[in-house]
Structure 1
Amino acid sequence: MKKTVCFLLLFPFSLGFMQAQNPLLDSLIHHINDLSTKKASIQRDTNIILSLSLLTERSLNMGDSRNQFFLDSLQRFTKKTNWPKGLGLHERALGKQNDVKGNYTEALKHYTNAIQLLKKAGGDSFELAYAYVLAAFVLNNNGLTDKCLEILNEALPYANATKNKNNLCWIYDFLGDYNYYDSFGVRNYKKALFYYKEVEKNIPYTTSPTLKADNPHCLANVYMKLGDEKKANDYRDNALRIAKQYNNRVVIFATYADLADIYEQRKSYAKALEYRKASLEYAHKSGWKEMESRAENYIYQTYKHIGDYKNALKYYELHKTHEDSLGRFSVQKAYAELQAKYEAEKQQLRITDLEKEQLIQTRNFLIGLSILGVLLTGFIFWSNRKLKTKNQQLKTKNREIEEALLKGQTIERKRVASELHDNLNTKIAALRWRLEALDTSKYPEADQKIHAGLLQTLEDVYADVRLISHNLLPTELETQGLVAALQKLTEKLNVNAKTVFHLIANGITERLNPKIEYQLYSVALELVNNVLKHAQAQQVWISISQNDEIISLTVSDDGRGMSNIEKATGVGLRNISARVEALNGTWLIDSKPTTGTKVKIEVPV
């Protein structure tokens, strides 16, 4: 830090904060006032910035109306002192402010800046870990759970290195949530209990009031799922007591939402609605747009469940408005841009290093040539070795570029699939729901048939869009591999289908190259579509196998077969040919009219 500051009296803390509103915040304010009376020094000013940072972020967490004043004060102090660590803390506070307001793109940018500034300032483990945790949670709230887990893994060494276990507990808490909540698709309640218990074990070494209230709330949920209602009730009561003590509206909102779920499952709808409304009230009071959106979605689902469509529509529209304002897809785009920028900077550093290395080599060569000509032969030999190394580096770079291209394509497929599922399908569902809500009992019979036909058509469109969005990039293909994706595909195809699909998998014990998995899945999907459209088959067999060097995919059916003309002119078959060639593979069609069709693809591992 360049200099100490002597401008504390410009900020009337005692006048601005005369009314006690929250014990946690007021104790920090009194501490800052005490520091302001001390003689100006680097130690005093850095302590004021640290306290202001904590005060600002806690006020944002608690929805305190003074948070903007605290943030402005933090900005002035950090600007005057130009302390690198203080600048990082101010960026993190700006991220938290945008996070609370639902401006996720801006929040992610500020958190990323905070991480870079804190690293340059010496990498304070506690503050840096918290910046990582906040950035990770923004990514999770915007559908990038895998990236969230990656960043939390980066934060873990920093979190373990500090005596204050706040950040370690936040990481364990998220891992508990990941195994508990249905939206993640894991539902391993015993594993969730393990992580929540790890948080409970470390609570004595934390300072976060939110953690102290949130952990018993999480334990209450998981014990309820495990059938221990007494423990669940005890932990829930404790969570509410602590949350009300610290005026933590987010935890109160979440706890009331859980109680509403319990009463709704018991069909006590009046009590469920009572807690839904209380939950919504605290979500509004928290100031967190994410919590408000969730609360509106929960109460919409409850009203819909009990048949109160008027109120259901009201809260659905409020929820949709909030969701549209959060800009989740822009966060995914911003993250991709930040990641690309980071990779470009790393690449530039590599190029600079290579250039420096080349300059050193040239200088050494000239010095060696001027001293001893006999070293020329040795230098040429050395240069050849370096050239081979450079060639190997170029091959590695080319492979990295191919992986980056596949990764970019995967991100785009995810985005399109998400747009179809979350945007278009939501609107189709809303339209279908509105049509279902119409009273058609007084309609003429012909109009009732038209109405029924419209509902069926919307149902078909909804199913088609959902299938398309899933098949663009199935979750199973990305997380579990080709065999799991094909298994899921056959299960879906066998639901109410006239054609029965069978899957045979042999020899594949490990994940394949992502490019091979995606291309083979696309080929299988193309062949399945051809069977459904043209083959008139009753039985279809999909076989996938692997030996040491070859992966084989075979799709055969007992349908009407194909003529030579169909083999030559089919657009789908041309698509298959292009995909197989891209993998340096071969393929063969064995088909005659009335004898069925067999397509075999072989690609090198």
Structure 2
Amino acid sequence: MKKLLLILPLLLRICYAQLPAIDSLKQELMVVKRQPKGFATDTLQCNILTAVMKAYVDVDIDSASHYNQQLMALSEKPGLEKHLLYAYQYAGYLYQVRGDYHQSIRFHYKALPVAEKLGEYTRMAASYGWLAHAYTSLKEFDKAAKFCEQGLSLLRKHPDSYVQASILNVQGAIYRQQGKLKQALKVNMELYELARKDGHMWYEAQGLHAIGWVYKEMNDMPQALEYFGNALALARKTRSVDLEGSILLNISNLYFRQSKWKESLAYCNIALETARRVGNSSIEAEAFETLYKIFKQIKRPAEALRSYESFVQLKDSLSKEKTDHRIESLKAQYDNVQKTSELQKKQVELLDNQRTRNGLFIGIVSVLVIASVLFWNNSRLQAKNELINGQKALLEIAREELADVNKTLETRVEERTEELLVANLELLRKNNEIKEALFKGQTIERKRVAIELHDNLSSLLSAVNMTMQHIDPKNLSESEQSVYENVRYLVRNAYAEVRNISHNILPPELEKDGLVMTLASLVGKLNQNSPLQFSLMISDLDDRLPVEIEFNVYSIVFELINNVIKHAQASVVTISLRRTDSGVDIAVTDDGIGMAKSQEKRGVGLQNIQTRLESLGGTFTNSAPIGKGTRVAIEIPIETISFNGNPLNS
């Protein structure tokens, strides 16, 4: 665990180191664009565009998509089909990263016939793998499994370990999501061994990641954490931000399952920042969803609400992006119409200039021809203008639709926000009612047990003691007299112990006078009857705490005092209670033999304290101060929120 936490400060990306290389490639691209047009220039330009696109993928996905579109447009020329194939497949990959799986499927289907025409069978297998990946993300597992089998079948005739690793990765994910964990583990182990043998570091990291994921589903948390840690180290070496973000999210979810909220929150925040740096909306949305669940668990409703709103906005952004694409398409059609009209005007002017160079007769004929052409062109221009006006109307309608969508989205967010707030507050009220009812029940039961101990068992022991007093020890032998005295001593001790237990189960002064007075009374009694010296320090506890908190604090302090008396061999004990903005801090410090020598004896008592703290959401720290002795520090949260001006404790 400590080794894994040491990795966190090293996770800041070094993407800035890539920027000079990207700038250099962009300068080369500008130089090539100024060179004379031709096949060689186009080929060189395609190679540079590919390099820029790949360099941007871990820095800025939007920039990578921009250069991918340039590559796609340029490689549509004859002779550049291999570059077009690569552009289609890379476009599918970028849409996959963005979470737009339908667009990813569209581009890989466009890539398949190009790859088949070129005889690029390994590239065909790669597209089969990416199609399987997209359908897996859409939960269409039958289609995904079919494409995996097609890809692996093609690779048996045309082997390529890298493409095989990509398809095995998807196949393992299909088995895992279908709950076939043994098959998933077998495939992922095969993926890891293949990638490690052939030096595919990215898939080696992904193989470890996938194995850890399966162990997480098997609830084998130590194994899962070990594989995730190794995968994270390899992912950092490959500088794959997307893989790193996915691993961080899985580690966060692993700690979430174990109710380790601090660790889960830390890893989730790192995954969110990692996704934001490269614009990976898919991981970013998943991180916000995880943050919402964490904040809901640790009773931070405001932050849970903000995280949920961000998740909803990211989830709905895909439909907005499609609307933007539609508007851009209409604008491009409008620009094309304008360019066509300008070209026709220039052609008319050129025709007029050429005709006027001939003789007078030819000039008259030319004037008639030009008039006819102008009339014809005017008719066409009118039609074009009508088309332009229609396109403008469509553009305006699209803008109005977009405005309506935005308004609807805002309304939906407000409604969901209000629903979530009301639901959280209702849940908080219900929890408080349940806690109050449970505490009342426990209090009644403790009173009953205390009365039973005091009235029945104490009376019984008193009767035994009185009965024994009728025995004349003078009539007993020396050994019998010794036994007689031991029995009387044990009966007296048992009677005193029963009285102490019946009193401490539910001290009457705790309900009447409160925690501070009860602890002061307890410490006073201890200082009279015990060789240990007890001191009590109270800070900022002028007002009483909730009844269930006071009872649990008293029980915890009493248990810690018993541990010190029985095991610590101490002479001085200090008890401190402090009210903070968020709850209550408790500390019990002694100068005894220390934690290492007495921890085995203290096991049961500390487990009882830990059980109480789990029900209160508190934390427990056991440490050794400088010198000797033991210090136990406890923090119990008492969160207070308000609704319609009324305070609610949780």
Q: Structure 1-normalised TM-score? A: 0.45
Query: Of the two structures, which has the highest relative contact order with CA contacts closer than 8 Å and spacing of 6 or more?
Result: 1
